[in-house]
């Protein structure tokens, strides 16, 4: 059963249409990468899914509840960080968490301490948040968003603005949470390669339209094998393989998208045409390239 269901939502700001029939679902245990360039409409979509902005048409269901009609129930088991972690700078980390815990009720001090440990803030939790680094604030934000033990987590570019160390920390935390708590997670980013190591599904959005929505495995399976040949010269190589997909990065290298059964015949062709083959190996396509292939070559950046 899908925990989150977005049904062809549309949104315009004035005359400018931002989202066109955006639909997707997130199931239990899935980590959906919501990927698209800046301005694609990721933040807008997430805000619509949280009721922070009004939906022009379409529906959002969370845990089976219609967000518009049953807001309080739908949002009950949702944790979210949008744009930047929303925390009160003039309070300490602990005070921030206590306030949120108070809103949900029934959260013991031990649970709170446990949570603080989970996000690794136990040493600085009683300092004013204004003294935190952005990474610490992001971790506090994540702690705040999972106080109510949600089964859904929306994270809008959680690694934005963090240094490499911070990115790794936050990523590890998300992976840990996904494993331990079995949440349905939506995580947005403008950078596919940042996510491809741990998301289970990818939803790619461009100019307000979902262009790809599939399991990451499928995206990876698009990984048509590609072979890199090192040769003495590349002159005339393109005409030789005019019927194949070929790339020529430099004077001694070319890459072919072929099946491994074809290798022998390729080699024969090369040798009979006076090319010296120095080496040959398989290269993997990155997720990004796979995506480009799928969408017909538009860059997402």
Partner 1 sequence: MSKLVYNELYKLFHKRSTKLYFVLVFLLLTLSLVIVLKFDNSEEIESNYDINYQQSIIDSYKDRNDLNDDEKSDYLGALVEHDKLSLIKEKGIKRNSPEEAYVKDNMSQLFYSKNFIIVYGYTTDVNNRTLDDINAEIDKEIKKLEELDPIAVIKDELSTLNKEIVCLDIKSEFCDKYFDIYKKVLEYRIEMNIPKSYNAASMELERYLTEYPSYLQYEKDKGRIKEEEKDTYNEIISFNKTMEYKIEHKLLTQSSVVQPNMVEIVSSGLTDMSIFIVIGLIMIGASVLSEEFEKGTVKLLLVKPFTRNKILISKIIASIIMIVIFCLYVTVLNTVSSIIYNNYLGMSFIYSLCEYNFSLHKVVEYNIFNYYILTFISQMIYFIMLDLIVICFSTLTTSTAISISFGFGLFIGTGILTEFVQKFKWIPLLPMYTSDMINVFFGQPPTYKILTLPVHVFFNIFYVILFIGLAMFIFKKKDIKNQ
Ligand X SMILES: Nc1ncnc2c1ncn2[C@@H]1O[C@H](COP(=O)(O)OP(=O)(O)O)[C@@H](O)[C@H]1O
* Site of interaction with partner 1 (CB under 8 A): 43-44, 47, 50-54, 71-73, 75-76, 78, 80, 82-84, 86-91, 95, 99-100, 102-105, 144
User: Cα separation of 84 and 189, whole Å?
Assistant: 13
Residue number with CB closer to ligand X (67 or 82): 82
Token pair of 157, please?
Answer: 């570019």
Which partner in ligand X, partner 1, Mg ion, none is near 52 (CB below 5 to 8 A by kind)?
A: partner 1
- Binding to ligand X by CB under 6 A, coded x per residue (else -) over 20-49, reads ----------------x-xxxxxxx-----
Does 77 interact with ligand X (rule: CB under 6 A)?
A: no
Residue number with CB closer to Mg ion (46 or 237): 46
CB of 12 to partner 1, least distance (A): 11
CB of 164 to ligand X, least distance (A): 22
Token pair of 117, please?
Answer: 């440990």
CB of 23 to partner 1, least distance (A): 21
The answer to whether 27 and 182 have CB atoms below 8 angstroms apart is no
Radius of gyration, alpha carbons of the chain: 24
CB of 41 to ligand X, least distance (A): 4
Cα four-point dihedral sign 269, 270, 272, 278: negative
Residue number with CB closer to partner 1 (43 or 138): 43
Which residue, chain included where needed, has tokens 């800046």? Answer: 38
Buried (b) or exposed (e) across 219-235, using 16+ Cβ within 10 A? Answer: beebeeebbebebeebe
CB of 118 to ligand X, least distance (A): 27
CB of 259 to partner 1, least distance (A): 46
Which partner in partner 1, ligand X, Mg ion, none is near 171 (CB below 5 to 8 A by kind)?
A: none
CB of 102 to partner 1, least distance (A): 5
Segment contacting Mg ion by CB under 5 A, of 35-43, 130-138, 224-232, 277-285: 35-43
Segment contacting ligand X by CB under 6 A, of 10-18, 192-200, 209-217, 280-288: 10-18
Does 189 interact with ligand X (rule: CB under 6 A)?
A: no
CA angle 94, 97, 101 (to 5 degrees): 135
Residues binding ligand X: number (CB under 6 A):
11
Q: By CB under 5 A, name the binding residues for Mg ion.
A: 43
Residues that bind ligand X (CB under 6 A): 13, 16, 18, 36, 38-44
């Amino acid at each position: 059963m899908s925990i989150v269901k977005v049904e062809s939502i549309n949104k315009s700001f004035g005359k400018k249409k931002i989202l066109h029939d955006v639909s997707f679902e997130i199931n239990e245990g899935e980590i959906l990468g919501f990927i698209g360039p800046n301005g694609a409409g990721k933040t807008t979509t997430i805000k619509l899914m949280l009721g922070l902005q009004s939906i022009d048409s379409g529906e959002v269901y969370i845990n089976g509840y219609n967000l518009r009609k049953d807001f309080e129930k739908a949002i009950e088991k949702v944790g979210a960080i949008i744009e930047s972690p929303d925390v009160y700078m003039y309070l300490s980390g602990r005070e921030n968490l206590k306030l949120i815990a108070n809103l949900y009720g029934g959260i013991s001090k031990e649970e709170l301490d446990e949570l603080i440990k989970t996000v690794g803030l136990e040493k600085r939790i009683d300092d004013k948040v204004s003294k935190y680094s952005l990474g610490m604030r992001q971790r506090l934000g994540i702690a705040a968003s999972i106080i109510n033990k949600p089964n859904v987590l929306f994270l809008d570019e959680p690694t934005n603005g963090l240094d490499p160390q911070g990115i790794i920390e936050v990523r590890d935390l998300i992976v840990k949470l996904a494993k331990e708590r079995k949440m349905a997670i939506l995580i947005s980013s403008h950078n596919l390669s940042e996510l491809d190591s741990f998301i289970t599904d990818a939803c790619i959005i461009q100019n307000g339209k979902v262009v790809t929505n599939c399991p990451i495995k499928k995206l990876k399976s698009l990984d048509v094998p590609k072979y890199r040949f090192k040769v003495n010269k590349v002159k005339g190589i393109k005409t030789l393989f005019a019927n194949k997909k070929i790339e020529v990065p430099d004077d001694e290298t070319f890459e072919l998208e072929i099946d491994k059964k074809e290798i022998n015949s390729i080699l024969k062709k090369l040798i009979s045409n006076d090319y010296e083959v120095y080496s040959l190996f398989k290269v993997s396509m990155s997720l990004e390239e796979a995506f480009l292939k799928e969408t017909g070559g538009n860059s997402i950046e």
